[in-house]
Amino acid sequence: MLDSSAARLSEDPWRVFRIMAEFVESFETLSRTGPAVTIFGSARTKPDDLYYQAARDIAEGLAKEKIGVLTGGGPGIMEAANRGAAKVKGTPSIGLNIELPHEQKRNRYANVSVNFHYFFTRKVCLVKYSMGFIYMPGGFGTLDEFFEVLTLVQTQRIPAFPLILFGTGFWRGLFDWISSTLEPLGMISPGDLDLVRVTDDPQQAIEWILQYRRTIGIPEQIPLAFR
C-alpha cells in the first residue's frame, strides 16, 4: 500500500490539470465581460443590514455607468452586489463561486457564473479582471483579499487601482493599528496607507471608480454578449 507521500506524488500531476482547467474556463469566460469592479464583503451579512443595501446601491450605480460587477458569487454582501448589478439590463453581474462545506452557496443574481475548487485560482480572477476594488465589512476572507491586493499595488505588481474601504466605523480600528504600530516600526513605508480610500457614501465610492476610468481611458462600452 502506498504511503501518504507517495499517494500525493501520484495525485499532484492531476491537480495541475484541474488547476489549468479552472484557469482556462475562467479566463475564456471573463475575457469577454468588459470593464468590471470587484466588490468584497462578508457572506454572513443579511438583507436587512445597512451594508447589504449599500453594496446593492454601489453595484447598481456602477452598472448604470456600464461597469460590470464581480463578486465571489456567494450570499451576503456578494449577493447584494450581484443583485444590484443585475437590476441594470445588459450589465455583467459576475459571480465566481467557491466550493465550501458551509456558508458558500451560489446566489441567484449572477448572470455570469464560474465555479472554482481552489481559492487561489478564484483570487487570481477576482484581481485579473478588475479595474477597482471595493471592500465592504467582512471577516477573514475579506481581510485576506484586502491585504493581498494592497500588497500587489504597494509592490507595483499591478497598477494603482482604486482600493476603497466602505464603512469608516468598521475599518477605523484596523487603520489606527496600522498607523500606530506598523508604520512607526518601519514595517510599512510612510504614505502606504494613502493607497487606500475610506468612505461611508455609496456615491463617493462610485465616483472614485469613475474618476479612475476617466484618468486611464477605459472604454465604457459593454461587449455585445451582454447587451
135, amino acid identity: Y
Of 83, 110, 80, the closest CA to residue 96 belongs to: 110
User: What distance in Å separates the CA atoms of residue 37 and residue 94, rounded to the nearest whole number?
Assistant: 10
Residue 76: which of 51, 95, 113 has the closest Cα? 51
For residue 227, CA distances in Å to 58, 72, 220 come to: 21, 23, 13
Alpha-helix residue ranges (DSSP H) falling in the chain? 4-30, 50-64, 77-86, 119-128, 140-154, 168-177, 202-216
Confidence of residue 137 (pLDDT cuts 50, 70, 90): very high
**CATH dotted code for 10-218:** 3.40.50.450
- 61-84: burial string, b at 16+ Cβ within 10 Å, e else: bbbebbbbbbbbbbbbbbbbbbbb
Q: How many angstroms separate the CA atoms of 163 and 135, rounded?
A: 8
**Ramachandran area for residue 97 (φ above 0: left; ψ -120 to 50: alpha; else beta):** beta
1 pLDDT above the threshold of 50 = no
- pLDDT tens figures, 140-164: 999 999 999 999 999 999 999 999 9
How many other C-beta atoms are found inside a 10 Å radius of the C-beta of residue 117? 13
Asked if 70 and 36 count as a contact pair (C-beta separation under 8 A), the reply is: yes
pLDDT confidence of residue 173: 97
Please state, in angstroms and as integers, the Cα–Cα distance from residue 154 to each residue in 55, 148, 157, following that order: 26, 10, 8
Per-residue pLDDT tens over the stretch 164-221: 999 999 999 999 999 999 999 999 999 999 999 999 999 999 999 999 999 988 766 5
Kindly report the pTM of this predicted structure.
0.89
Three-state SS at 225: helix
Q: How far is CA 145 from the centre of its chain?
A: 7
